Amino acid sequence: MSALVDFPETADIETSSEDYARRFSGKIGDWLLQVQERATLDLLAPYPNARILDVGGGHGQLAEPLTRRGYRVTVFGSDAGCKRQIAQLCDRGECDFQVGNILDLPYGDRAFDIVISYRLLAHVKQWQKFLTELSRVADRAVIIDYPSLKSINAIAPYLFQLKRKIEGNTRPFACFQETDLLEIFQACGFEFGDRYPQFCLPMVIHRSANSPRVCATLEQLCRQVGLTDRFGSPVLLKLTRSQHKFSRS
C-alpha cells in the first residue's frame, strides 16, 4: 500500500489495512492475538486507568481490549486511513485518533503515562530515532514488540516465500538484538522492566497448522523447558523510566 502522506516513516499504513487484518482472521488469528493481549495486560497491570498512546496502533489489535479495561487510549497513525479498524471505538468516544509523523509526535515531553507500539518497529528504517521519540512522550513506561535475532527469525529471508504463500501478503522485516534496543532506551533515561517472548515456533507455522489447541500445547511445552524464554519471538519488551535519573519537578 502506497503512502498518501509525506512523512518519512509510514509503515503503519500497511498494518492498519484490511489486508493486514485478514492475516489475523479465523480461529488461529484469534489465538495469536489472545496471547498478545494477555501478555500486554500483564505488563500494564501496575498502571490501572493509565493514559496510553498507541503509536501505529491503527491495526486495532490493542485499542479495544485496553479501552474495555479502563485505559484511556489515543491511537496515532501516519494517515487518516489508519483509523479504519478502530472507527467504531472512536465514534463511540472510547478511543481517540490522531494523524502525524511518528518521528515527530505532536505531544509534549512525558505527555502520556504509557507509550506502546506493536507491529511497527520491524518496518521502521530510522528505528533509533523512533524509539527516542517514543521515550520522549512516555512518563512511566514504553512497551514495544520486536522480532528477535535469537529466534528462527534469523533465517527469515530463507523462509520468506513460504511465509508469503501461507499468509498471502507479507513484507520483509528487520530483527533486533535486545541489547541494541536497550542501549537506545537507556540513553533516554529508561531501564529494562520486563519481557515476554510470545512464541517459540514462528507464527507462519502456527498459521499453517491452523489448530489453536495443537499450537497452544506445543508452545506450552516449549515454554516449560525454557526454549521460549531463550528463542521466543516476537518479544514484548517493557522499559520503565529511571526515576533516580529523571524525576518530575
CA–centroid distance for 229 within its chain: 18
Q: Mean pLDDT, to the nearest integer, of 64-83?
A: 97
Mean pLDDT, residues 88-104: 97
- On average, the pLDDT of the chain sits at 90
Are the beta carbons of 138 and 115 closer than 8 angstroms?
yes
- Tell me the pLDDT tens digit for each residue of 172-231: 789 999 999 999 999 999 999 999 999 999 888 898 899 999 999 999 999 999 999 999
Determine the pLDDT at residue 51: 98
Q: Which class is domain 12-241? A: alpha beta
Residue corresponding to grid cell 485518533: 97
Note the pLDDT of residue 1: 43
Give the start-to-end residue ranges of the domains of the chain.
12-241
pLDDT-derived band at 157 (thresholds 50, 70, 90) equals low
Q: Which residue has the higher pLDDT, 245 or 100?
A: 100
pLDDT at 202: 87
- Per-residue buried b or exposed e for 123-133, using 16+ beta carbons within 10 Å of the residue's own CB: bbeebebbbeb
Cβ atoms of 112 and 138 within 8 Å: the answer is yes
Q: What is the pLDDT of residues 3-13, one digit of tens each?
A: 456 899 999 99
Q: What is the pLDDT of residue 247?
A: 38
pLDDT at res. 96: 98
The pLDDT of residue 6 is 83
- pLDDT for 72 equals 98
Residue 176 bridge partners (DSSP): 148
| pLDDT(36) > 70 | yes
DSSP-H helix ranges across the chain: 12-15, 18-22, 26-44, 63-68, 87-91, 127-136, 156-167, 178-187, 203-209, 212-224, 227-231
pLDDT value for 164: 52
**Spatial distance between the Cα atoms of 141 and 122, rounded to a whole number of angstroms:** 20
3-class DSSP state of 78: coil
In the prediction, which pLDDT does 167 show?
A: 53
pLDDT at 241 over 50: yes
